[in-house]
Amino acid sequence: MSENNTDALRSWLIILPIIFILVLAAVFLAFVNVEGLTTEQRLDYGTKAITTTGTIFAGIAVFVNAFYAAKRAEAMDKSAMAANESAKAALKNAEAALKNAVIAEDKQITERFAKAIEQLGSEKIEVRLGAIYTLERIAKDSAKDHWTIMEVLTAFVRENAPKKLEQENTENAKQLVNYWMNNQNTENTQQIPKIRTDIQAALTVIGRRNCDNEQENQRLDLSNIDIRGADLRNSNLQKANFAIANLEGAFLIKADLQEADLYKAKLQEANLSKANLYRADLQEANLQGADLQEANLQEANLGAVLQVLQELFIEANRQEEDFPGANLQAAYLDEANLQGAN
């Protein structure tokens, strides 16, 4: 039994005897023979006394009920306030738990990141591969760490596949013609070396990354690297910096190279069919033998590239020989910058 119900019972135990006495007094006035009163007067006084007693009884009952209703309301208010305080405390506990969970998750990601970085330097190829795919997983799990991981992977490629120092070819277009005309024997063609498995894995992860987590000014730095024969088909390489990179024989089918920097890049025999080179910088790039079928070169800056190709064609036609030049079949050249081309 609740405390309010107990207090109400105690109150009624006090009130009921008083009511009983009043009822007895009324009955006494009604039925006891008081001198000077007729029977009719006694009955009238008794009836009035009982009526008055009932009225008093009803008033007392209403008062008691109102009193305890107020106490119940007060108790309910206190319970509601206590529940509200409990809810606030629970909310604070939930916020603290969430904060602790975030801290724990950040700590776990930091530990995974540090371990993966350490494993990238391992001598075992399988350990390096595991590290690369771990970094990819972290980049997916943590948007704030995405770009840092992309910078780590591009740095890994630059450090492990640097372009070897060599004397730059300063021959003019005529000298290049003579070179091609004197080296038509395919037996003398050097085979493109196979790219390292871990380098290819890093490039694959970079090419399929989620670009939604990147800012406008963030650009992949893959400049001055040697990734001959790399498989970059369907890769997202928008705005990537491939300046002076060696991409000879690379598979760039359907690759997205919008606004990419390919200045002086070596793209001999590269497959760029259906590649998107919108506004790409191809100044002084070597496209000898490259496949550009259905490539989008809209507003691309080709500089003197086509001038070299044209002179090669002219020389080949003059000597009535076949020319293994770039395949531009169905290439989209709308608004391309053909500076220096005839």
Residue span of the structural domain in which 96 resides = 3-117
**Cβ distance 255 to 272 under 8 Å?**
yes
Q: What is the CATH number of the domain that holds 261?
A: 2.160.20.80
In this structure, are 168 and 262 located in the same domain? yes
Q: What is the pLDDT of residue 176?
A: 47
CA atoms within 13 A on the CB side of 288: 19
Helices 3-31 and 39-120, axial angle in degrees (round to 10): 180
Domain boundary among 98, 117, 136: 117
CB 245, CB 227: distance < 8 Å: yes
Same domain, 168 and 304: yes
Mean pLDDT score, 182-198: 68
Same domain membership, residue 312 and residue 170? yes
pLDDT for 342 equals 31
Confidence class of residue 323 from pLDDT cuts 50, 70 and 90? very low
- Say if residue 188 is in the same domain as residue 309: yes
146-170 per-position pLDDT tens digit: 999 999 999 999 999 998 765 344 3
**Do both 176 and 235 map to the same domain?**
yes
The CA distance from 176 to 170, in Å, is 10
Share of the chain above pLDDT 70, in %: 65
- Mean pLDDT throughout 16-41? 64
Is residue 239's pLDDT more than 70? yes
Alpha helices in the chain (DSSP H): 3-31, 39-120, 125-141, 146-160, 173-181, 197-207, 305-318
Residues 68 and 180 in one domain: no
Residue 167 domain-assigned?
yes
pLDDT at position 36, please? 62
In this structure, what token pair is assigned to residue 184?
């038509």
Confidence of residue 191 (pLDDT cuts 50, 70, 90): confident
- Rounded average pLDDT over 180-201: 70
pLDDT at 171: 38
Domain boundary among the residues 89, 117, 145 is at: 117
32 in a structural domain: yes
Answer yes or no: do 92 and 173 share one domain.
Answer: no
- pLDDT at residue 15 above 70? no
Contact 298, 335 (CB under 8 A): yes
CA distance 138 to 205: 12
Whether 173 and 273 map to the same domain: the answer is yes
Mean pLDDT of the chain: 78
Look at the block and give the residue holding tokens 């039925």: 31
- 234 and 169 belong to one structural domain: yes
173: pLDDT strictly greater than 70: no
- pLDDT for 167 equals 38
Of 58-62, 162-166, 177-181, 208-212, least confident by mean pLDDT is: 177-181
Domain tally, the chain: 2
Residue (of 247, 264, 54, 235) closest to 161 by Cα position: 247
Cα gap 92→67, rounded to integer Å? 37
What is the mean predicted confidence (pLDDT) over 41-47?
69
Residues 228 and 91 in one domain: no
Q: Pseudo-torsion of CA 91, 92, 98, 103, nearest 10°?
A: 180
Q: Mean pLDDT across the stretch 222-231?
A: 97
Band (pLDDT 50/70/90 cuts) for residue 68 is confident
Domain end among 63, 88, 117: 117
Q: Which two tokens stand for residue 72?
A: 């119940």
12 and 101 both lie in a single domain: yes
Most confident of 46-55, 129-138, 302-311, 327-336: 129-138
What's the distance, CA 238 to chain centroid?
Answer: 19
Indicate yes or no: pTM above 0.75.
no
Residue 147 lies in a domain: no
Query: In Å, how far are 129, 227, 271 from 193, measured between CA atoms?
Result: 20, 9, 16
Residues in the chain, total:
342
Residue 175 has pLDDT above 60, yes or no: no
Task: Summarize pLDDT for 70-123 with one digit per residue, the tens.
Answer: 777 778 888 888 888 888 877 887 777 777 766 777 888 889 999 999 999 999
36 and 103 share a domain? yes
> What's residue 77's pLDDT?
81
CB half-sphere exposure, 117, CA atoms < 13 A: 13
Q: What is the mean pLDDT of residues 289-306?
A: 84
In the chain, pLDDT over 90 holds for what percent of residues?
Answer: 42
